[in-house]
Copies of this chain bind each other. A is one copy, B any other.
Amino acid sequence: MGITERKEREKAEMRRRIVDAAIDMFVAEGYEKVSIRNIADKIEYSPATIYLYYKDKDELLYDVQAEAFQRLADHFRTHVVSEDPLERLHQLVMSYLDFAREYEELYDLMFIIKAPMNTVENEDKWDNGEDAFGQLRDTVGACVEKGLIRFTDHMIATLSVWAFAHGFISLNLRCRINIAELNEENIPIIMRQSVQHYLDTIKV
């Protein structure tokens, strides 16, 4: 009975088509401009059809987010290559900044906007970020373990590094850093200097 298998495959293909269209539009035009109708237009189906494959927009965004987190994890795997833990940490944080700058709209979806993370309530809730976060945790963990940075608690160390980078990125993405009377060209420089300074400061 290969029909049910084929149907399942077709269903998966359709979901892929929807997610691909959605993520393309996100990267190109940003969260605000992506509507169900736009996506439906792009894949040449009626808006109602999307609701045969996703129960609502949040469920779709959840898949888009999963894809985005996978790309971040891949980004890390490509750029975090050193054997030295401190060097690895440096590469990881800097490639995090790079990712945020290259894919602003994905970063937005992953870490800033409200939907869908706080609405989706299934058991494997955080599988999305697990991979990328795991790499951060392992890298920071190695530094703590070997006494290379001024932390004793793994979680505090990991969250601190993440929060520091995210704080700069999100204040910048939302144009709040400008409150400090900085012009736009200076911001990336100041950001890198600040992150560099932070990494220097936490070194033993």
Contacts and interface: CB of A to CB of B under 8 A. Distances in A.
Tell me if A's interface is mostly helix, strand, loop or mixed.
Answer: helix
A180 to B, nearest CB: 6
Interface in A124-162: 125-126, 128-130, 133, 137, 150-151, 153, 155-156, 158-160, 162
> Most chain-B Cβ atoms within 10 A of its Cβ — which of A125, A151, A162, A202?
A162
Copies in the complex: 2
A126 B197 contact: no
A129 B163 contact: no
Given A129-B179, A170-B112, A176-B111, A194 B137 contact: no
Given A156-B197, A163-B168, A164-B164, 19 more contacts: A113-B174, A117-B175, A118-B174, A125-B178, A126-B179, A128-B179, A129-B176, A129-B179, A137-B180, A155-B180, A155-B182, A155-B190, A158-B180, A160-B197, A162-B171, A163-B171, A165-B167, A166-B167, A166-B170
